[in-house]
Amino acid sequence: MRIFVAGATGAIGRPLIAQLLAQGHDVVALTRSLENAQTLTEQGVEPAIADVFDADAVKAAIIGAHPEVVIEQLTALPKTYTAESMSAAAPFNQRIRLEGGANVLAAAQAAGVRRYLRQSIAFWAVPGTGLADEETPLSLDASPAVAADARTVTEIERRLLETPNLEGIVLRYGFFYGPGTWFAADGDVANQVRQQQFPIVGNGEGVWSWVHVEDVAIATVAAAEQGNPGIYLITNDRPLEVREWLCAYAQWLNAPPPPQVSVEEALRIGGADAVYYGTQMRGASNAKAKRELNFQPRPLEWMVDSAVAHAG
């Protein structure tokens, strides 16, 4: 298939492009940088140069590319994962998702694209018992920042799924790990854990759902090829409470055990977001993706190493 990718140079974009090419697809990628265009060309990708905020330029790029499928991975996240950096990045990240995404979606409609995939978030489901599934709404009553982001993402999902004459697919991804992510061994969270700056909050009962960036790419290509319109949760098989994954992660990094702080202290230091992520977050089920996309995610690498260490 001929596939147009918006957001091709980030942590997900790079393995996604590699997987699309490996599966024999003809790939066009949006970029506004001549330098990135050269890199894409060297990878065997046809670059389409346009600013995502220039609606006319994006429309011309997608119409000119004649794609059958558009995959939108537009985000603008910082290299560091702190309350300050996330807050500073939030306005532009929201703009690129809403305004930039709207331009790409409108251009795809104008170009007569058959199928459109958009990334979303698996770990902001309404808190509750058991694992969230595709029918579980995102939490609009969580901490202020999470609720604001969840409203944005809910609007993006609605906008896509209600677009006529287009097979809209929403991919709700779990927390990324692997090369180029915050949780890579050389990533920002790893450095925070080594410096004991990433604590367990309260009893550490928040449940995180993970997915390797290469598995994200594999699942996304499968959805482009054979997915049904609607929502898919793209996570690995084993959601984990913070108190379990964070201790194993520290051990994997040869870092000191993570400190533990009270909910009150976390509120004072990190705000309501820290409490939500540490104590309230709900895990997600990947059953639909496994059933319909034959998704077979790898286990979380530091939990595998931890299990081997304990077995030894």
The DSSP secondary-structure symbol of 257 reads P
Q: How confident is the model at residue 196 (pLDDT cuts 50, 70, 90)?
A: very high
CB 76 within 8 A of CB 12: no
How many residues are listed for the chain in this entry? Answer: 312
Query: Which single residue is written with the structure tokens 């609607």?
Result: 230
CB 107 within 8 A of CB 59: yes
Instruction: Say how far apart CA 35 and CA 39 lie, in whole Å.
Output: 6
Q: What pLDDT does residue 8 have?
A: 85
Burial 29-51 (b: 16+ CB within 10 A, else e): bbbeeeebbebbeeeebebbebe
What value does the mean pLDDT of the chain take?
Answer: 94
Instruction: Say how far apart CA 33 and CA 91 lie, in whole Å.
Output: 22
Q: What pLDDT does residue 141 have?
A: 84
**What share of the chain has pLDDT > 70, as a percent?**
97
Q: What pLDDT does residue 305 have?
A: 65
**In terms of Cα–Cα distance, which of 303, 243, 254, 234 is closest to 278?**
243
pLDDT in tens, 139-192: 988 888 888 889 999 999 999 999 999 999 999 999 999 999 999 999 999 999
Of 49-58, 211-220, 270-279, the range with the lowest mean pLDDT is 270-279
pTM for the model stands at 0.94
Burial of 105 (0-12, 13-18, 19+ CB in 10 A): buried
Question: What's the maximum distance between 2 C-alpha atoms anywhere in the chain?
Answer: 61
Q: What pLDDT does residue 270 have?
A: 87
Of 23-32, 34-43, 104-113, the range with the lowest mean pLDDT is 34-43
The DSSP secondary-structure symbol of 153 reads H
**What share of the chain has pLDDT > 90, as a percent?**
84
The structure tokens listed for 136 are: 């579980």
Q: How far apart, in Å, are the Cα atoms of 39 and each of 10, 45, 78, 260?
A: 13, 9, 22, 44
Structural domains in the chain, sorted by start: 2-184+209-237+284-298 (3.40.50.720)
- The enclosing H or E element of 263 equals helix 263-269
Q: How confident is the model at residue 118 (pLDDT cuts 50, 70, 90)?
A: very high
